[in-house]
Amino acid sequence: MSITSINNLVKFTGKKYQTALCGCYFQIKKEVNIMTIGGLFPPIGLVIRCSQYAVNVPLQVNVLGLVTLDFKGGFDVRVEKPTSEGLGGLKLKILAYEISADSPVLGRVTISWADIETTPLSTLVIIKSLPPTFQNTLYLDFTMTIEKPPGGGPPLVLSNTKTAEHLNNKLPMFPPQGNVYQLAAPVDLAPIGAPSQVVAQLQQLPMTVTHNP
C-alpha cells in the first residue's frame, strides 16, 4: 500500500482504524529509511585504503617539553559486519596503520599499528539520516618509535596506555574525502610493558583523511 493510499484511507475511516493505519505509515517510512541508509554503506569484505596527514601535531615529552610534528602516512580497514549502533552501520577491522614525521630533535617518529586482540573493532554508523551523516571511530592501539630519544641511546619504543579513539562525527560520506579526524582525548605514552611510567603525551592528532581507490 502506498503512503498516498494510506493518507486517503485515514480520511474516510473512523477513529478506530486511524491508529493502525498511521502505524502502518510509520512502518513503511522506517523501512524506506533503512533501505536508503543501507545503500550508503560499502559492502562486507571490502578493503578500504586511506592516506592521511597532520601538521603541527603537539607531542609533550617529559624531559623536552612540547614538540610539534608533521605526520603523513595511511591506513587500511576491512568492512567486517553490520552493527545496530546509532541508526545502523558497520564494524571495521584495521589491517594496517602507519604515520611518520621527521624532527630535528627526535629524528624519525613513527606511529605503527599494534595488532592487539583486545582492540575493539572500529565503527561506521549513521547518526543522522537527512542529510546522511556518518560517525567513523577508529580504535587504535599503536607503538610510537622515537629514533633519537632525549639523552641518547637506541630508538625508544612507546605504546599508548589506553586504546585511543580517533574520529569524525560529521562525515557526509564514507570513505572520507579530505575530512579531518580528531582524538577524543589526549593519549598517554609509556614504555612497552610499563604503562604506569608515562613519558610522553600525544595531545592532538588532527588528521586529514582521504580515500585512495
Q: What's the rounded Cα separation, in Å, for the pair 200 and 213?
A: 35
What are the beta bridge partners of residue 75? 50, 97
- Is there a contact between 96 and 113 (Cβ–Cβ < 8 Å)? yes
pTM over 0.85: no
Q: What's the rounded Cα separation, in Å, for the pair 205 and 211?
A: 18
In the prediction, which pLDDT does 14 show? 41
pLDDT beneath 50, residues of the chain:
1-37
Domain residue extents for the chain: 3-38, 47-211
Give the architecture (CATH level 2) of 47-211: Beta Barrel (2.40)
Reported as a single tens digit per residue, the pLDDT across 103-153 is: 999 999 999 999 888 999 999 999 998 899 999 999 999 999 999 999 899
In the prediction, which pLDDT does 9 show? 32
In the prediction, which pLDDT does 5 show? 36
